Amino acid sequence: MSNLTTWYEIGGIVMALAAGLATGFYYLINKGKIGMLLKERRESKTQTVNLPDNCFWNVHTVLHETLTELRVKTNCARAQIVQFHNGGEFLDGISMKKMSLTHESLDKGVSSEMPLKQGLLLSMCVDGLMLLQEDDAQVYKVDELEDSWCKQFMENSNVIAFSFLPIKKHGQAVGYVMVQWCSWNHADDADEVEVSECIENARKLVEIQLHILKKNKNGKR
């Protein structure tokens, strides 16, 4: 009986040692993991975040202020800057020409088109963009346009009338400045001469600011 008791005691001691060793290994392993996590966190805190320089902030602040002033002066619902850009290639190697809404000023209660106007193929809006060639900021009534994807897009955004001018660089259109009216009262009250003057002034400011941004980018290379 005493021998059996002794073996039980020895077995208990061995199990206790095994449990202790397992606990110790578990602790060391997790301590190591925790140490690594703490080290990574400390290193991440010491890393600097590369934020845009003052030129970036200044330019885009001026652009937004320009659109807000344009919207208020023309009493429109939306004032926008849309820029043209490349967007990959088709299978035959032809470059995709796209446009994206980059800046927007909205009247109260008016929905933004920002999520909808991203990476749109220019080929989808040919009829509307053809009007840019006239380089004339006349007020266009949406219901007077021919049926097209572009017309339907504006109708879905509750646009009743609009006016726009191309943004140019070296004589080539690289985007446009647009104002949109979503109320007949405001659209009917729009004076084309005043609207044209306001958009023309806004376009000049936009072209200057985009040139500054481009020049600053090239200067860093």
pLDDT digits (tens, 9 = 90+) for 63-114: 999 999 999 999 999 999 999 999 888 888 888 899 999 999 999 999 999 9
Give this prediction's pTM. 0.75
Say yes or no to pLDDT of 48 above 70: no
Predicted local confidence at residue 37, as pLDDT: 56
Say yes or no to pLDDT of 173 above 80: yes
By CB atoms closer than 10 A (0-12, 13-18, 19+), residue 38 is: exposed
pLDDT in tens, 37-46: 556 666 655 5
Q: Cα 208 vs. chain centroid, distance in angstroms?
A: 21
Averaged pLDDT score across all residues of the chain = 85
**pLDDT tier at 181, thresholds 50, 70, 90:** very high
Q: Which two tokens stand for residue 93?
A: 């190697």
b (16+ CB within 10 A) / e for 177-206: bbbbbbbeebbeebeeeebbebbeebbebb
Which of 43-47, 117-121, 147-151 bottoms out in mean pLDDT, i.e. has the lowest? Answer: 43-47
Q: Cα 127 vs. chain centroid, distance in angstroms?
A: 25
**pLDDT tier at 28, thresholds 50, 70, 90:** very low
Q: Where are the domains of the chain?
A: 1-47, 54-219
Predicted local confidence at residue 132, as pLDDT: 92
Average pLDDT over residues 202-217: 91
Say yes or no to pLDDT of 189 above 70: yes
Percent residues over pLDDT 90 in the chain: 63
Query: 54-219: which CATH topology?
Result: Beta-Lactamase (3.30.450)
b (16+ CB within 10 A) / e for 115-140: eebeebeeeebeebbebbeeeebebe
